[in-house]
């Protein structure tokens, strides 16, 4: 009999929720009439959240190839929503910042994301949402620590 893995482990649930959330975000942004693709919206969100970091670092945070990010940024820059500015510490690198023109669009994106998250977290009260948020922050920090130290634990990450 073939080995069967559990589907309700924390790792499997996080993977499923992440995939489903991304799909829901993509559909919501596509239907919103904001004039951005879901990828462009995600890039703009990252630039706004990490104001002034290098393009390469944004690509890493988004989990995409630098060329893909560059395409998104070219379009956002063409719309006047972001600017590439010289990195003060590395003259070869460019940092990305949002412009004031992006503010109304970012507010609309935030409205769409909040609406989506209200649907996603339906059934959780304020305390439950906060507990989930804090738990996810803890998991994120643990994963950042693994990235910095290297993964050496023999336990399955899906557990």
Please write the tens of the pLDDT for every residue from 87-141.
888 888 889 999 999 999 999 999 999 999 999 999 999 999 999 999 999 999 9
Residues 83 and 128 in one domain: no
Q: Is residue 94, in this structure, part of any structural domain at all?
A: yes
Q: How many structural domains does the chain have?
A: 2
- In angstroms, the CA 44 to CA 70 distance is 12
The residue segments making up the domain with residue 99 are: 10-120
- Give residue 149's pLDDT band: very low, low, confident or very high (50, 70, 90): confident
Q: Is residue 90, in this structure, part of any structural domain at all?
A: yes
Residue 159, pLDDT above cutoff 50:
no
Residues 28 and 100 in one domain: yes
Residues 96 and 29 in one domain: yes
Residues 94 and 136 in one domain: no
CA 128 to chain centre: 22
Residue 156, pLDDT above cutoff 60:
no
pLDDT in tens, 57-73: 999 999 999 999 999 99
109, 29 contact by CB (below 8 A)? yes
């Amino acid at each position: 009999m073939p080995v069967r893995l559990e589907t309700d482990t924390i790792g499997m649930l996080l993977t499923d929720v992440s995939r489903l959330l991304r799909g829901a975000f993509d559909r919501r942004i596509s239907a919103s009439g904001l004039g951005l693709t879901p990828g462009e919206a995600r890039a703009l969100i990252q630039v706004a959240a990490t104001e002034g970091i290098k393009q390469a670092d944004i690509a890493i945070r988004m989990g995409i190839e630098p060329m893909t990010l560059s395409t998104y940024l070219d379009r956002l820059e063409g719309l006047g929503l972001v600017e590439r500015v010289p990195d003060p510490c590395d003259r070869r690198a460019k940092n990305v910042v949002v412009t004031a023109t992006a503010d109304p669009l970012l507010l609309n994106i935030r409205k769409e994301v909040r609406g989506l998250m209200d649907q996603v977290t339906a059934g959780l009260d304020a305390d439950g949402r906060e507990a989930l948020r804090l738990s996810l922050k803890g998991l994120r920090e643990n994963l950042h620590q693994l990235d910095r130290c290297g993964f050496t634990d023999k336990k399955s990450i899906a557990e």
